Amino acid sequence: MTSSPTYGPAAPRDQGPPARASDADRAAVVAVLHDAVTRGMLTLEECDERVAAAYAARFLRELPPLTADLPPATAPAPAAPGWGALAAMALLQLRTSLADSPWSGTVRSRPRLAVAVAVFLVLAVLAVLALGAMTLEELFEVDHD
């Protein structure tokens, strides 16, 4: 009996053809490679070689070896929500407090609405002035050494 030579483990017969890599799969690998360069884990030359291999990959099985030796990226620290989220919460609180008033919908709610809008506008003007003052101080910063 003659047998054909085997090169590597035999693939199961019930598996179909290998899955093809999509552009999104390649782009994900390239993003990981660029992140590795940013973190100092790859040189530009290594990254260029691997990016070229990623874009040349036809099948999904060709992509994981390109990033196998790189540790996973750490999750970024959560960022502060900023002024936009704070203003949205303030508007929501104002709207909720006005809707929960015992006389909402009556004529008497107009003065309360006017006061609430006036307070909000004053706070908005103060915030703009504070930001403007900080910017002016940074622009005209003088060393007193």
pLDDT at residue 138, rounded to an integer: 63
pLDDT at residue 45, rounded to an integer: 95
pLDDT at residue 47, rounded to an integer: 94
pLDDT at residue 44, rounded to an integer: 93
pLDDT at residue 51, rounded to an integer: 96
Sequence-ordered list of residues with C-beta below 8 angstroms from that of 57, at least 6 positions apart, any chain: 21, 26, 29, 63, 66
**pTM for the model:** 0.45
pLDDT at residue 77, rounded to an integer: 77
Structure-token pair, residue 58: 């036809």
The residue that leads in pLDDT, 141 or 23, is: 23
The residue that leads in pLDDT, 131 or 26, is: 26
Residues 56-79 pLDDT 10s: 999 999 999 999 999 887 777 787
Domain residue ranges in the chain: 23-67, 82-139
Mean pLDDT over 43-65 rounds to 95
Alpha-carbon span 94 to 53, nearest angstrom? 56
Residues 76-133 pLDDT 10s: 778 777 777 878 888 888 788 777 666 555 555 567 777 888 888 888 888 888 777 6
